[in-house]
Amino acid sequence: MIFTERHHLEVMRSIALVSEMAEIILETAKMLVLQEQLGEWDNLNHLLVCKDSNKAVVIDPFFSKYWLEVCEKHGFELEQVWLTHSHWDHAKGVDGLTDKQVWVHTLESERGWDGPSNQEWTHEANSFITQNVGELEFEIHTTPGHTPGHVTFIGEGVVVSGDCMFLGRCGRTDLFGGDVNAQRSSLLHLRSKLQEIPGDWIVLPGHQYALEDGSNPRWITVNQLLSDNQALQALDDDNAWNSLEFLAFDDNLAEKARRERARAQQD
Chain residues binding Zn ion by CB under 5 A are 87, 163
| Amino acid sitting at position 72 | E
Q: What is the DSSP string of 228-264?
A: H-HHHHHTT-HHHHHT-TTS---SHHHHHHHHHHHHH
Q: Between 3 and 88, whose beta carbon lies closer to Zn ion?
A: 88
Q: CA 108 to CA 226: how far, in whole Å?
A: 28
Minimum distance of Zn ion from residue 163's CB (angstroms):
4
- DSSP H or E stretch at residue 65: helix 64-74
Q: Cα 180 from chain centroid? A: 19
Minimum distance of Zn ion from residue 85's CB (angstroms):
6
In DSSP terms, which residues pair with 162 in a beta bridge? 205
Q: What is the spatial order of strands in the sheet that 77-82 belongs to?
A: 23-27, 31-38, 43-50, 55-59, 77-82, 101-105, 119-121
Q: Between 155 and 177, whose beta carbon lies closer to Zn ion?
A: 177
Q: Between 71 and 94, whose beta carbon lies closer to Zn ion?
A: 94
Minimum distance of Zn ion from residue 52's CB (angstroms):
33
Q: Between 92 and 193, whose beta carbon lies closer to Zn ion?
A: 92
Minimum distance of Zn ion from residue 113's CB (angstroms):
12
Q: Between 85 and 184, whose beta carbon lies closer to Zn ion?
A: 85
Minimum distance of Zn ion from residue 152's CB (angstroms):
13
Q: CA 142 to CA 125: how far, in whole Å?
A: 5
Minimum distance of Zn ion from residue 38's CB (angstroms):
15
Q: Between 57 and 91, whose beta carbon lies closer to Zn ion?
A: 91
Q: CA 137 to CA 115: how far, in whole Å?
A: 25
Q: What is the spatial order of strands in the sheet that 151-155 belongs to?
A: 128-133, 136-142, 151-155, 158-162, 202-205, 220-221
